[in-house]
């Protein structure tokens, strides 16, 4: 199976902001979270993938087609939900569906109706008249049933209430189970990242920190409580220190070093994904 997405050495400069170089491959059947602080370039990356902007260098291939090339079939294999749906304001939900559904070969009307019913979305109101939460619900109802192999969601849950968030996850899990599909989701919601993602693609101020498998990341970080404060300025693997507490992202090296020096630790624990993300995104790493 060929990868759905292949991003190679992509760079983009916008005023003083530099994105990249980005390398990312998305395999079928995976969910990847784009994780990064505000303004780290997550939305820009998605827009580059949708060919809504041009890259300065590097290439983006979706379904084996260069997105900025003349071939445009790849567009039929991707559904994109941007943070703000531009141009939807004057349409009612019903009219938007009339516009969008016929453009997708595998549109799932039943799923659309189910989501609309569950979220109680009024289809006869103009998009602009809906609350932010309802707008987001309607957008999801008009995006997921497109049934394209690849789904790009840019902060889809920012305005959703708690039950809706839970329900959305069930919908996405069910949706993923129906075939060779993949999701790329940009989110600041730790629940989305924990429950949905297989991979975390981490961006910090436009710089690619890495694409990590979730467990590989949680297994890599360990926290040690030492008997006494360290005198060394820095020890192997160390990424954070607070008095007798040391966090390492190379536990083996750290433990080896501590044992060699005869330093004992009273306790050790793993880190929460939230803490790990915070460490990855903190500027003084």
29 binds other proteins (CB under 8 A): yes
Give every CB contact of residue 255 below 8 A, 6+ residues apart in sequence. none
In whole angstroms, give the CA distance from residue 248 to residue 224: 8
Minimum CB separation from other proteins for residue 74, in Å?
A: 9
158 binds other proteins (CB under 8 A): no
Return the residue of 23, 66, 76, 245 that touches other proteins, per CB under 8 A: 76
Residue 219 vs 229, nearer CB to other proteins: 219
Measured N-to-C along each axis, helices 162-176 and 109-119 cross at an angle, to the nearest 10 degrees, of 160
Minimum CB separation from other proteins for residue 275, in Å?
A: 12
Residue 222 vs 241, nearer CB to other proteins: 222
Nearest to 34 by CA among 162, 156, 177, 175: 156
Q: Which two tokens stand for residue 259?
A: 């044992």
210 binds other proteins (CB under 8 A): no
In whole angstroms, give the CA distance from residue 134 to residue 90: 15
Return the residue of 11, 188, 189, 198 that touches other proteins, per CB under 8 A: 198
Burial 16-41 (b: 16+ CB within 10 A, else e): eeebbebebebeeebbbbbbbbeebb
Residue 106 vs 229, nearer CB to other proteins: 106
Return the residue of 47, 118, 167, 250 that touches other proteins, per CB under 8 A: 47
Nearest to 130 by CA among 151, 109, 149, 116: 116
Return the residue of 119, 199, 201, 265 that touches other proteins, per CB under 8 A: 199
Binding site for other proteins (CB under 8 A): 14, 29-31, 44, 47, 50, 52-54, 68, 72, 75-76, 78, 80, 82, 85-91, 95, 98-100, 103-104, 169, 173, 176-177, 194-199, 213-215, 218-219, 269-270
């Amino acid at each position: 199976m060929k990868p759905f997405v292949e991003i190679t050495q992509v760079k983009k400069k916008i005023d003083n902001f530099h994105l990249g170089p980005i390398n990312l491959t998305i395999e079928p059947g995976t969910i990847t979270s784009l994780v990064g602080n505000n303004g780290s370039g997550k939305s820009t990356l998605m827009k580059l993938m949708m060919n809504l902007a041009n890259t300065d260098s590097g290439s983006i291939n979706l379904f084996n087609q260069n997105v900025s090339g003349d071939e445009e079939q790849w567009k039929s294999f991707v559904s994109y939900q941007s943070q703000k749906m531009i141009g939807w304001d004057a349409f009612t939900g019903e009219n938007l569906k009339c516009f969008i559904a016929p453009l997708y070969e595998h549109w799932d009307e039943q799923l659309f109706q189910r989501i609309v019913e569950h979220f109680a979305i009024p289809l006869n109101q103009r998009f602009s008249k809906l609350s932010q939460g309802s707008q987001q619900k309607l957008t999801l109802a008009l995006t997921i049933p497109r049934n394209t192999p690849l789904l790009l969601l840019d902060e889809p849950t920012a305005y959703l209430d708690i039950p809706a968030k839970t329900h959305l996850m069930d919908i996405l899990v069910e949706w993923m189970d129906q075939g060779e599909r993949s999701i790329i989701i940009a989110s600041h919601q730790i629940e989305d990242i924990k429950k949905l993602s297989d991979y975390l693609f981490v961006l910090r101020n436009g710089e690619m920190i890495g694409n990590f498998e979730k467990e590989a990341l949680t297994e890599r970080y360990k926290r040690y409580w030492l008997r006494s404060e360290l005198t060394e300025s820095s020890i192997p693997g160390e990424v954070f220190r607070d008095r007798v507490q040391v966090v390492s992202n190379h536990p083996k090296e750290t433990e080896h070093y501590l044992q060699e020096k005869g330093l004992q630790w009273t306790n050790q624990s793993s880190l929460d994904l939230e803490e790990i993300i915070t460490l990855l995104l903190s500027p003084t790493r």
